[in-house]
């Protein structure tokens, strides 16, 4: 498993996810952090985008999950779907996904709520 890591921080996207009907009826802001385990040795030597994971493509894929037509009840399910999408690139050995809801509908003064999960490519996934 590579120890090199691509980090994406503070990706803000609108989506319609949550347990409450009001959360699924209008877009609300989410913030996403990603850590991708990627072998970057070839890219370090070549200075060629083709030798690494293009993080612009990753951002587009994640935006497609968060802002897509499917609505998730749980942040856990949203984070798992994001991880699955990122892992479709065979160069990504594992991914850690953090999803934060920036305006949680709670009767308390709280900044954010969120989840963090890590998914690793299995030996048969390569």
**Choice among 101, 112, 113, 120 that is catalytic:** 101
Q: Are strands 113-120 and 92-101 parallel, antiparallel or unpaired?
A: antiparallel
Q: Which residues of 55-81 are buried (b: 16+ CB within 10 A; e: fewer)?
A: beebeeebeebbeeeeebeebeebbbb
Interatomic CA distance for residues 15 and 63, integer angstroms: 9
Is residue 38 annotated as part of the catalytic site, yes or no?
no
Active-site residues, by number, are: 101
């Amino acid at each position: 498993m590579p120890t090199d890591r691509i980090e994406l921080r503070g990706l803000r996207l609108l989506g319609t996810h949550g347990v409450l009907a009001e959360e699924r009826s209008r877009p609300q802001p989410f913030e996403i952090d990603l850590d991708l385990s990627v072998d970057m040795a070839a890219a370090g030597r070549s200075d060629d985008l083709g030798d690494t994971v293009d993080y612009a493509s990753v951002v587009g894929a994640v935006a497609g999950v968060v802002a897509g037509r499917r609505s998730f009840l749980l942040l856990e399910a949203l984070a798992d779907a994001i991880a699955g999408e990122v892992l479709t690139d065979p160069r990504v050995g594992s991914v850690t996904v953090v999803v934060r809801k920036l305006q949680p509908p709670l009767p308390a003064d709280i900044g954010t709520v969120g989840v963090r999960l890590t998914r690793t490519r299995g030996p048969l996934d390569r």
